[in-house]
Structure 1
Protein backbone atom coordinates (compact mmCIF):
# COMPACT_ATOMS: atom_id res chain seq x y z
CA UNK A 1 0.00 0.00 0.00
CA UNK A 2 1.36 3.37 -1.02
CA UNK A 3 1.01 6.20 1.49
CA UNK A 4 -1.16 9.01 0.17
CA UNK A 5 -1.19 12.63 1.20
CA UNK A 6 -4.43 14.14 2.36
CA UNK A 7 -5.86 15.95 -0.66
CA UNK A 8 -9.45 16.28 -1.89
CA UNK A 9 -8.67 13.66 -4.56
CA UNK A 10 -7.11 11.17 -2.10
CA UNK A 11 -10.07 11.66 0.25
CA UNK A 12 -12.53 10.95 -2.59
CA UNK A 13 -10.51 7.91 -3.64
CA UNK A 14 -10.55 6.52 -0.11
CA UNK A 15 -14.31 7.15 0.26
CA UNK A 16 -15.17 5.44 -3.03
CA UNK A 17 -13.79 2.26 -1.45
CA UNK A 18 -16.63 2.25 1.05
CA UNK A 19 -19.61 0.24 -0.17
CA UNK A 20 -22.84 2.05 0.53
CA UNK A 21 -26.50 1.44 -0.10
CA UNK A 22 -28.11 3.74 -2.66
CA UNK A 23 -31.06 5.88 -1.62
CA UNK A 24 -33.29 8.33 -3.38
CA UNK A 25 -34.16 11.44 -1.38
CA UNK A 26 -37.59 12.70 -2.49
CA UNK A 27 -39.50 15.93 -1.98
CA UNK A 28 -41.81 18.14 -4.06
CA UNK A 29 -40.51 21.16 -5.97
CA UNK A 30 -42.11 24.63 -5.74
CA UNK A 31 -44.68 23.64 -8.39
CA UNK A 32 -45.62 20.44 -6.53
CA UNK A 33 -43.81 18.06 -8.90
CA UNK A 34 -42.16 15.01 -7.26
CA UNK A 35 -38.36 15.22 -7.52
CA UNK A 36 -35.50 13.05 -6.33
CA UNK A 37 -31.80 13.12 -5.58
CA UNK A 38 -29.63 10.02 -5.52
CA UNK A 39 -27.65 9.80 -2.29
CA UNK A 40 -25.43 7.35 -0.44
CA UNK A 41 -25.01 9.47 2.70
CA UNK A 42 -27.88 8.09 4.78
CA UNK A 43 -28.01 6.49 8.20
CA UNK A 44 -30.40 5.55 10.93
CA UNK A 45 -29.79 7.60 14.09
CA UNK A 46 -32.24 6.51 16.77
CA UNK A 47 -35.23 4.20 17.20
CA UNK A 48 -36.78 6.27 20.04
CA UNK A 49 -37.63 8.69 18.69
CA UNK A 50 -37.22 7.24 15.20
CA UNK A 51 -34.60 9.44 13.48
CA UNK A 52 -32.54 9.15 10.30
CA UNK A 53 -30.01 11.46 8.70
CA UNK A 54 -29.05 12.46 5.20
CA UNK A 55 -26.16 14.60 3.99
CA UNK A 56 -26.91 16.99 1.14
CA UNK A 57 -24.63 19.50 -0.56
CA UNK A 58 -25.65 23.00 0.54
CA UNK A 59 -25.70 24.35 -3.02
CA UNK A 60 -28.26 21.84 -4.34
CA UNK A 61 -31.90 22.38 -5.15
CA UNK A 62 -32.71 19.38 -2.94
CA UNK A 63 -31.23 21.06 0.12
CA UNK A 64 -33.29 24.20 -0.51
CA UNK A 65 -36.46 22.16 -1.13
CA UNK A 66 -36.10 20.08 2.03
CA UNK A 67 -35.55 23.16 4.18
CA UNK A 68 -38.45 25.03 2.55
CA UNK A 69 -40.90 22.13 2.77
CA UNK A 70 -39.88 20.74 6.16
CA UNK A 71 -40.08 17.12 4.98
CA UNK A 72 -38.32 14.53 2.82
CA UNK A 73 -38.56 10.86 1.92
CA UNK A 74 -35.82 8.26 1.78
CA UNK A 75 -36.31 5.41 -0.69
CA UNK A 76 -33.93 2.49 -0.16
CA UNK A 77 -33.24 1.33 -3.72
CA UNK A 78 -32.88 -2.28 -4.78
CA UNK A 79 -31.17 -3.99 -7.68
CA UNK A 80 -33.00 -2.97 -10.85
CA UNK A 81 -33.44 0.67 -9.78
CA UNK A 82 -30.29 1.81 -11.55
CA UNK A 83 -32.24 3.86 -14.16
CA UNK A 84 -33.95 5.82 -11.35
CA UNK A 85 -30.65 6.35 -9.52
CA UNK A 86 -28.98 7.52 -12.75
CA UNK A 87 -31.86 9.88 -13.62
CA UNK A 88 -31.60 11.58 -10.24
CA UNK A 89 -27.81 11.72 -10.01
CA UNK A 90 -27.08 14.08 -12.92
CA UNK A 91 -25.96 17.47 -11.58
CA UNK A 92 -28.20 20.25 -12.87
CA UNK A 93 -30.48 17.92 -14.81
CA UNK A 94 -34.21 17.50 -14.38
CA UNK A 95 -34.91 15.37 -11.32
CA UNK A 96 -38.68 15.20 -11.84
CA UNK A 97 -39.91 11.65 -11.19
CA UNK A 98 -42.26 10.19 -13.81
CA UNK A 99 -45.59 9.03 -12.38
CA UNK A 100 -44.91 5.41 -13.42
CA UNK A 101 -42.00 5.33 -10.94
CA UNK A 102 -44.19 6.40 -8.02
CA UNK A 103 -46.83 4.79 -5.85
CA UNK A 104 -50.05 6.49 -4.85
CA UNK A 105 -49.62 6.91 -1.10
CA UNK A 106 -51.60 9.89 0.22
CA UNK A 107 -50.72 8.92 3.81
CA UNK A 108 -47.14 10.12 3.22
CA UNK A 109 -45.87 13.64 2.70
CA UNK A 110 -42.92 12.81 0.42
CA UNK A 111 -43.09 10.93 -2.89
CA UNK A 112 -42.49 7.17 -2.60
CA UNK A 113 -40.82 5.18 -5.38
CA UNK A 114 -42.48 1.92 -6.42
CA UNK A 115 -40.28 -1.11 -5.97
CA UNK A 116 -38.11 0.41 -3.25
CA UNK A 117 -36.92 -2.02 -0.59
CA UNK A 118 -38.29 0.41 1.99
CA UNK A 119 -39.53 3.98 2.20
CA UNK A 120 -39.11 6.34 5.16
CA UNK A 121 -41.30 9.46 5.30
CA UNK A 122 -39.67 12.17 7.45
CA UNK A 123 -40.18 15.66 8.76
CA UNK A 124 -37.09 17.81 9.18
CA UNK A 125 -36.03 17.58 12.83
CA UNK A 126 -32.61 19.30 12.89
CA UNK A 127 -30.02 20.42 10.36
CA UNK A 128 -26.53 21.81 10.57
CA UNK A 129 -23.65 22.63 8.22
CA UNK A 130 -20.74 20.25 7.79
CA UNK A 131 -18.21 21.55 5.26
CA UNK A 132 -19.78 21.75 1.80
CA UNK A 133 -22.74 19.67 2.94
CA UNK A 134 -25.52 19.90 5.49
CA UNK A 135 -26.54 17.10 7.79
CA UNK A 136 -30.32 16.89 7.92
CA UNK A 137 -31.87 14.79 10.64
CA UNK A 138 -35.41 13.64 9.96
CA UNK A 139 -38.03 12.40 12.38
CA UNK A 140 -39.67 9.35 10.82
CA UNK A 141 -43.44 9.78 10.39
CA UNK A 142 -44.19 6.75 8.24
CA UNK A 143 -42.61 3.61 6.83
CA UNK A 144 -43.40 1.52 3.78
CA UNK A 145 -41.87 -1.88 3.13
CA UNK A 146 -41.35 -3.19 -0.38
CA UNK A 147 -42.51 -6.53 -1.73
CA UNK A 148 -40.94 -9.77 -0.54
CA UNK A 149 -38.77 -11.36 -1.58
CA UNK A 150 -36.81 -8.26 -2.48
CA UNK A 151 -34.10 -8.24 -5.15
CA UNK A 152 -31.39 -7.13 -2.72
CA UNK A 153 -29.92 -3.70 -2.20
CA UNK A 154 -28.43 -1.50 -4.88
CA UNK A 155 -24.90 -0.76 -3.71
CA UNK A 156 -22.48 1.97 -4.77
CA UNK A 157 -18.81 0.98 -4.73
CA UNK A 158 -15.77 2.22 -6.66
CA UNK A 159 -17.87 4.86 -8.45
CA UNK A 160 -20.36 2.34 -9.85
CA UNK A 161 -23.48 0.36 -9.00
CA UNK A 162 -23.07 -3.13 -7.63
CA UNK A 163 -25.21 -5.95 -6.26
CA UNK A 164 -24.42 -8.03 -3.21
CA UNK A 165 -23.75 -11.72 -3.43
CA UNK A 166 -23.35 -14.17 -0.56
CA UNK A 167 -19.80 -14.48 0.69
CA UNK A 168 -18.40 -17.89 -0.26
CA UNK A 169 -15.63 -19.60 1.67
CA UNK A 170 -13.48 -19.54 -1.48
CA UNK A 171 -13.77 -15.76 -1.82
CA UNK A 172 -12.75 -14.92 1.73
CA UNK A 173 -9.36 -13.31 1.99
CA UNK A 174 -7.41 -12.98 5.21
CA UNK A 175 -6.83 -9.45 6.37
CA UNK A 176 -3.12 -9.51 7.12
CA UNK A 177 -1.86 -5.99 6.54
CA UNK A 178 -3.16 -3.53 9.14
CA UNK A 179 -2.99 0.16 8.36
CA UNK A 180 -1.04 2.63 10.43
CA UNK A 181 -2.31 6.10 11.20
CA UNK A 182 -0.43 7.59 8.22
CA UNK A 183 -1.89 5.10 5.73
CA UNK A 184 1.15 2.87 5.40
CA UNK A 185 1.25 -0.87 6.09
CA UNK A 186 2.94 -2.12 9.25
Structure 2
Protein backbone atom coordinates (compact mmCIF):
# COMPACT_ATOMS: atom_id res chain seq x y z
CA UNK A 1 0.00 0.00 0.00
CA UNK A 2 1.37 3.39 -0.98
CA UNK A 3 1.53 6.21 1.51
CA UNK A 4 -0.49 9.38 0.93
CA UNK A 5 2.84 11.21 0.48
CA UNK A 6 3.89 8.81 -2.32
CA UNK A 7 0.51 9.22 -4.06
CA UNK A 8 0.77 13.00 -3.64
CA UNK A 9 4.20 12.97 -5.35
CA UNK A 10 2.89 10.73 -8.13
CA UNK A 11 -0.13 12.95 -8.74
CA UNK A 12 2.02 16.10 -8.95
CA UNK A 13 4.41 14.21 -11.21
CA UNK A 14 1.60 14.14 -13.77
CA UNK A 15 1.61 17.94 -13.88
CA UNK A 16 4.38 19.35 -16.13
CA UNK A 17 6.17 22.46 -14.94
CA UNK A 18 8.96 24.75 -15.94
CA UNK A 19 12.22 24.58 -14.01
CA UNK A 20 13.79 27.47 -12.13
CA UNK A 21 16.77 28.12 -9.93
CA UNK A 22 16.03 30.16 -6.82
CA UNK A 23 19.23 32.11 -6.19
CA UNK A 24 20.47 34.04 -3.20
CA UNK A 25 23.69 34.54 -1.25
CA UNK A 26 25.13 32.46 1.56
CA UNK A 27 26.39 34.06 4.79
CA UNK A 28 29.86 34.61 3.28
CA UNK A 29 28.49 36.12 0.04
CA UNK A 30 28.91 32.94 -2.05
CA UNK A 31 26.12 32.45 -4.63
CA UNK A 32 23.62 29.78 -3.64
CA UNK A 33 21.04 28.06 -5.85
CA UNK A 34 18.15 25.65 -5.40
CA UNK A 35 16.26 23.93 -8.22
CA UNK A 36 12.54 24.61 -7.87
CA UNK A 37 9.27 24.11 -9.66
CA UNK A 38 7.11 25.21 -6.71
CA UNK A 39 6.97 28.81 -7.91
CA UNK A 40 4.08 30.87 -9.20
CA UNK A 41 3.15 34.42 -10.16
CA UNK A 42 0.88 36.03 -7.56
CA UNK A 43 0.05 39.59 -8.61
CA UNK A 44 0.54 42.11 -11.41
CA UNK A 45 -0.02 45.15 -9.17
CA UNK A 46 2.32 45.07 -7.41
CA UNK A 47 4.45 42.46 -9.18
CA UNK A 48 4.63 39.51 -6.77
CA UNK A 49 5.88 35.92 -7.06
CA UNK A 50 5.76 32.98 -4.66
CA UNK A 51 8.47 30.41 -3.90
CA UNK A 52 7.87 27.39 -1.65
CA UNK A 53 10.98 26.28 0.29
CA UNK A 54 11.31 23.34 2.69
CA UNK A 55 12.45 24.19 6.20
CA UNK A 56 15.28 21.66 5.97
CA UNK A 57 16.85 23.35 2.92
CA UNK A 58 19.81 25.72 3.23
CA UNK A 59 17.89 28.05 0.91
CA UNK A 60 15.30 28.54 3.67
CA UNK A 61 17.95 29.88 6.05
CA UNK A 62 19.59 32.10 3.40
CA UNK A 63 16.27 33.63 2.29
CA UNK A 64 15.44 34.40 5.92
CA UNK A 65 18.87 36.02 6.40
CA UNK A 66 19.19 37.90 3.09
CA UNK A 67 15.57 38.84 2.41
CA UNK A 68 16.03 38.72 -1.35
CA UNK A 69 16.23 36.13 -4.11
CA UNK A 70 16.36 35.66 -7.84
CA UNK A 71 14.16 33.46 -10.01
CA UNK A 72 16.06 32.06 -12.99
CA UNK A 73 13.87 30.29 -15.59
CA UNK A 74 16.04 27.62 -17.20
CA UNK A 75 16.37 27.02 -20.94
CA UNK A 76 15.96 23.58 -22.49
CA UNK A 77 19.72 22.94 -22.60
CA UNK A 78 20.25 23.68 -18.91
CA UNK A 79 19.23 20.35 -17.37
CA UNK A 80 22.75 19.92 -15.91
CA UNK A 81 22.24 23.19 -14.02
CA UNK A 82 18.91 21.90 -12.69
CA UNK A 83 20.46 18.60 -11.61
CA UNK A 84 23.40 20.32 -9.93
CA UNK A 85 21.25 22.63 -7.81
CA UNK A 86 18.76 19.86 -6.99
CA UNK A 87 21.55 18.10 -5.05
CA UNK A 88 22.33 18.71 -1.42
CA UNK A 89 25.15 21.29 -1.25
CA UNK A 90 27.37 18.71 0.51
CA UNK A 91 27.12 16.52 -2.61
CA UNK A 92 28.20 19.29 -5.02
CA UNK A 93 31.83 18.26 -5.41
CA UNK A 94 32.39 19.88 -8.81
CA UNK A 95 32.12 23.57 -9.69
CA UNK A 96 28.71 24.78 -10.94
CA UNK A 97 28.02 23.89 -14.61
CA UNK A 98 27.56 27.58 -15.50
CA UNK A 99 29.05 30.72 -13.95
CA UNK A 100 27.01 33.20 -11.98
CA UNK A 101 26.48 36.81 -12.96
CA UNK A 102 25.11 39.39 -10.54
CA UNK A 103 22.21 41.80 -10.82
CA UNK A 104 22.89 45.42 -9.79
CA UNK A 105 21.35 44.50 -6.40
CA UNK A 106 23.95 41.74 -5.93
CA UNK A 107 21.47 38.90 -6.45
CA UNK A 108 23.10 36.02 -8.36
CA UNK A 109 21.67 35.12 -11.76
CA UNK A 110 22.22 32.03 -13.91
CA UNK A 111 24.01 32.78 -17.18
CA UNK A 112 21.86 31.71 -20.14
CA UNK A 113 18.54 31.58 -18.27
CA UNK A 114 15.45 32.48 -20.31
CA UNK A 115 14.32 35.01 -17.73
CA UNK A 116 15.45 36.41 -14.40
CA UNK A 117 13.44 38.19 -11.71
CA UNK A 118 15.19 40.00 -8.88
CA UNK A 119 12.95 39.91 -5.81
CA UNK A 120 12.76 41.24 -2.25
CA UNK A 121 10.91 39.09 0.28
CA UNK A 122 7.75 41.00 1.21
CA UNK A 123 5.82 38.31 3.11
CA UNK A 124 6.21 34.79 4.43
CA UNK A 125 3.66 32.17 5.37
CA UNK A 126 4.36 28.91 7.19
CA UNK A 127 2.70 25.99 5.37
CA UNK A 128 3.40 22.56 6.86
CA UNK A 129 7.07 21.66 6.40
CA UNK A 130 7.60 24.56 3.97
CA UNK A 131 7.56 28.35 4.05
CA UNK A 132 5.97 30.35 1.25
CA UNK A 133 8.18 33.32 0.41
CA UNK A 134 6.35 36.06 -1.46
CA UNK A 135 8.74 38.29 -3.32
CA UNK A 136 8.17 41.76 -4.72
CA UNK A 137 9.79 41.84 -8.16
CA UNK A 138 12.23 44.74 -8.46
CA UNK A 139 13.78 43.94 -11.85
CA UNK A 140 13.12 41.59 -14.77
CA UNK A 141 15.36 40.42 -17.61
CA UNK A 142 13.95 38.35 -20.49
CA UNK A 143 15.96 36.59 -23.19
CA UNK A 144 14.72 37.44 -26.70
CA UNK A 145 14.57 33.77 -27.68
CA UNK A 146 15.02 30.24 -26.42
CA UNK A 147 12.76 27.51 -25.14
CA UNK A 148 12.12 26.38 -21.57
CA UNK A 149 13.31 23.32 -19.74
CA UNK A 150 10.31 21.26 -18.57
CA UNK A 151 9.93 18.73 -15.75
CA UNK A 152 7.41 15.88 -16.01
CA UNK A 153 7.28 12.54 -14.19
CA UNK A 154 10.77 12.99 -12.72
CA UNK A 155 12.38 13.72 -16.12
CA UNK A 156 13.46 16.80 -18.02
CA UNK A 157 11.91 17.60 -21.41
CA UNK A 158 12.00 20.21 -24.14
CA UNK A 159 8.88 21.62 -25.76
CA UNK A 160 8.08 20.02 -29.12
CA UNK A 161 8.44 22.55 -31.95
CA UNK A 162 4.75 22.78 -32.87
CA UNK A 163 2.02 24.58 -30.94
CA UNK A 164 -1.24 22.70 -30.46
CA UNK A 165 -3.46 25.76 -30.12
CA UNK A 166 -3.91 28.21 -31.59
CA UNK A 167 -2.68 26.72 -34.86
CA UNK A 168 0.09 28.55 -36.65
CA UNK A 169 -1.08 30.91 -39.40
Question: Shorter-chain TM-score category?
Answer: 0.7 to 0.9
CA-to-aligned-CA distance 1:120-142 (integer Å, 9 cap, x gap) = 00000111111111111000011
Aligned equivalent of 1:103, options 93, 101, 104: 101
Separation in structure 1 between the aligned mates of residue 81 and residue 33 of structure 2, nearest angstrom:
9
TM-score for the superposition, normalised by structure 2: 0.88
Aligned equivalent of 1:162, options 151, 157, 169: 157
Separation in structure 1 between the aligned mates of residue 10 and residue 116 of structure 2, nearest angstrom:
30
Name 2:130's counterpart in structure 1. 133
Q: Alpha-carbon deviation of 1:103?
A: 2.5
Matched length: 163
Higher strand share: 2
Separation in structure 2 between the aligned mates of residue 100 and residue 85 of structure 1, nearest angstrom:
11
Matches within 5 A, 1:169-184: none
Cα gap change, 1:100 to 1:164, in 2 (>3 Å): closer
Name 1:88's counterpart in structure 2. 85
CA-to-aligned-CA distance 1:127-160 (integer Å, 9 cap, x gap) = 11111111110000111112x321x110100001
Structure 1's unaligned 5+ residue stretches are 170-186
Aligned equivalent of 1:34, options 31, 38, 42: 31
* Cα RMSD, aligned residues only: 2.3
TM-score for the superposition, normalised by structure 1: 0.80
Separation in structure 1 between the aligned mates of residue 51 and residue 94 of structure 2, nearest angstrom:
20
